[in-house]
Every structure is written in structure tokens, then in C-alpha cells.
Amino acid sequence: MSTVAIDKTIDARGMACPGPLMNLIGAIRQGQVGQTFEVLSSDEGSKTDIPAWVAKAKQELVEVRADEGFSHFIVRKVR
């Protein structure tokens, strides 16, 4: 279990690529600096796409954790 406090969880399980990433981008745009977002995704593409986007957008990837059939991506909005 993660101990990071989450402000918003986006359950994108079952969504096709690039849906989970697009939902994360939307949430980060609407959120406040300092907030932490968690994306649940079963899309294999998210494993490469979310870290690539976070690096490009200069946000912070706090944690990536595998679960049963999906992954948790925890991202903090830092700018």
C-alpha cells in the first residue's frame, strides 16, 4: 500500500490508449499546484505514456505501482 495522500483518483481501468493519459491531463489542468492525482489504468500504453508525458510537462511522477491487472500512477501537479 502506498502512504501518499491522494487528492483525486481517476479510475480509467478498461479505457483504451490514450484515454487514461488524456483523463490525467484533464485533471491536472483543472487541479491546483501541490495536488496529487492517482490514475488507475489497465492500458499497457499508460506504462510508457504517463511517465513520458509527466517528464515532458515537467510534473512529478511520485509512484508507479503494479496491481492485479492494472497499475497505479501517482502524479503531483508541481507547476
Partner 1 sequence: MDEQDKPLSLVLFSGTDDKLNAAAVLTVGAAAMGRPVNLFLQYYALDAFRTGNLCADHALSPEATEAQAPVVRAHPGLHWSELLKQAKDVGEVNIQACALSMDMFHLKQADLDSLVDGVEGVAAFMASASEGQVVFI
Enzyme catalytic residues: 17
Judge contact between 37 and 31, C-beta under 8 A: yes
Query: All 3 cell numbers of residue 65?
Result: 505501482
Alpha-carbon dihedral sign for residues 18, 47, 37, 2: positive
Q: At closest approach, how far in Å is the CB of 55 from partner 1?
A: 10
Pick the closer one to partner 1 by CB: 2 or 30: 30
Residues 37-66 that bind partner 1 (CB under 8 A): 49, 52-53, 56-57
Point out which span in 4-12, 16-24, 32-40, 62-70 binds partner 1 (CB under 8 A): 16-24
